[in-house]
Structures are given as structure tokens and as C-alpha cells.
């Protein structure tokens, strides 16, 4: 009987050691370049996502706008919406050229990002690009440059050309939220 209880103790210790080794192996894999390369290949930054569109996207493809937290958005006319984290509580501000920044309802801005982080887009043939329409700065120091044509919903990011009435509508909501009095900034 005594041998049986000693065996149970050794088996429990062995199972705990095996569990610890398994956890350490998984943590090592999650931190490896192989894992990050796999994840990066599945979700492109400011790119059309790989694979078939989801059923909620209809025939369009999803475009993920916020690959990491957005710090600021600046339009070609220098109107901008930006996060000010210099206070104890981060807050979102809006500024149009020639005026002082004004505070926005941070909850509404965060809700806008949450709702519009992924938008439906339709690939279109390349078109003549104008200057940057919108520059998005991320907290990691990188940026993305959105270009636009005279057509209200034709955009380009890098070498990706797409039509997105959903993005055009979302940006229109953002102008209103930020108090940016522009019919359509260029």
C-alpha cells in the first residue's frame, strides 16, 4: 500500500514537470520568428486579407485598417484627429488648420475604430494616384498612406487599389465626429 502512494506522488510530480515543459515549449513557439511570419502572412497590414471573403462581407473583401493602435489621422488639408496621452487619461482631440485643438468624446472615437477597423472593399484596376488623402500614424511609429481619386469611394493603399463605399461612409462619420467641416477633404 505504501508503494502505491509513493508511485502516485511520483506520477503527479512527473505530470507537473511534463505540463511545465509543454507550456515552456508553447511559449517558445509563440515568441519564435516562425510563428510571427505565419501570423503576418495571414493578416496583412493595411492590405486585403488572404483567403475567401467572409459571408458578412458579401462579394467584397475585408480590409483591416488598424493593424495596431492608431495614434493620429491627418488629412491632406492638415485637419487631424489625434490621441493626446500627455495627461493621466488619454484623450482624443480634433484640430483643423488655424484653430486650437478641441477635445472629442473619447468613447465615441474608440467606438468608431472598433466598428470600422475592418471594412468591405472591392478590388479595382490601378488608377492615377494623387497626393496622400489621409495619413494614419500608428503607436509603433509606422504610418499608412491612403490615396483617393475624385470618385468618392475609390482608394489606394500602397499597390492595393479598391472601391469602398463603406470606407467613404465611415470617413464621413469620422469628419462629423471630429467636427471637421469638410464635404470631402482631398
The confidence score (pLDDT) of residue 34 equals 65
Q: What is the pTM of this model?
A: 0.65
Q: Is 106 exposed, middle or buried (0-12, 13-18, 19+ CB in 10 A)?
A: middle
Dump pLDDT digits (tens) for 43-66. 444 544 443 444 444 577 888 888
Dump pLDDT digits (tens) for 64-92. 888 788 999 998 888 999 999 887 788 99
The closest of 170, 117, 126 to 147, measured between CA atoms, is 126
Check whether 136 has a pLDDT greater than 70. yes
Which residues share a beta bridge with 138?
Answer: 70
Amino acid at each position: 500500500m505504501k508503494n502505491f502512494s509513493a508511485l502516485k506522488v511520483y506520477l503527479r510530480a512527473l505530470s507537473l514537470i511534463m505540463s511545465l515543459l509543454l507550456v515552456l515549449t508553447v511559449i517558445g513557439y509563440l515568441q519564435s520568428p516562425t510563428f510571427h511570419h505565419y501570423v503576418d502572412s495571414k493578416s496583412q497590414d493595411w492590405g486585403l486579407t488572404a483567403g475567401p471573403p467572409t459571408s458578412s462581407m458579401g462579394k467584397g473583401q475585408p480590409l483591416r485598417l488598424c493593424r495596431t493602435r492608431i495614434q493620429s489621422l491627418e488629412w491632406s488639408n492638415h485637419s487631424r484627429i489625434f490621441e493626446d496621452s500627455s495627461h493621466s487619461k488619454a484623450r482624443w482631440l480634433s484640430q483643423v488648420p488655424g484653430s486650437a485643438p478641441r477635445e472629442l468624446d473619447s468613447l465615441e472615437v474608440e467606438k468608431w475604430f472598433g466598428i470600422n477597423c475592418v471594412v468591405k472593399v472591392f478590388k479595382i484596376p490601378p488608377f492615377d494616384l494623387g497626393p496622400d488623402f489621409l495619413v494614419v500614424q500608428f503607436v509603433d511609429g509606422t504610418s499608412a498612406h491612403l490615396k483617393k481619386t475624385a470618385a468618392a469611394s475609390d482608394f489606394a493603399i500602397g499597390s492595393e487599389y479598391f472601391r469602398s463605399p463603406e470606407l467613404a461612409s465611415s470617413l464621413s462619420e469620422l469628419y462629423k465626429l471630429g467636427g471637421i467641416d469638410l464635404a470631402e477633404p482631398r
